[in-house]
Amino acid sequence: MSMNEDMTRELAGATPFEQRVLAEFAALNKRLTALEEKVDVRLRETRPIWEGVQTRLAAIEETLNDMRSHMKLIVKDLFQTRVRVEELEDQRRPPAA
């Protein structure tokens, strides 16, 4: 016997309307409890999936950070190469008349 059933029995002098309201409240409470249980089960089922996704996202983020560092080095090297090529080209040009 649940607490809600006790409440309806304690109100022996209650009107039928009050009894119906309490009965509906008890039914609603029962449905809410069943829903909470379903949500808890789903959370337990999906938690390992979510943890796996978080692990993979962290690995992807680390890879992207590594790629960003490599790209910065490539751009820096490219810029330095361009400067050296321009210097060499300037050396090979005949002096202006």
Structure confidence at residue 89 (pLDDT): 92
Structure confidence at residue 96 (pLDDT): 74
Please count the structural domains in the chain.
1
If the chain, 97 residues long, is cut into consecutive pieces of 10 residues, what is the mean pLDDT of each piece?
Answer: 54 77 93 95 91 97 98 98 94 80
The answer to whether the pTM exceeds 0.95 is: no
Q: Is position 25 within any domain?
A: yes
Q: Is position 77 within any domain?
A: yes
Q: Is position 15 within any domain?
A: yes
The residue segments making up the domain with residue 84 are 3-92
Of 33, 22, 24, nearest to 10 by C-alpha is 22
Taking each helix axis from N to C end, the angle separating 16-92 and 3-10, rounded to the nearest 10 degrees, works out to 150
Q: Is position 97 within any domain?
A: no
Structure confidence at residue 19 (pLDDT): 87
Structure confidence at residue 93 (pLDDT): 84
Q: Cα dist. 29→26, 34, 36, 47 in Å?
A: 5, 9, 10, 27
Structure confidence at residue 95 (pLDDT): 77
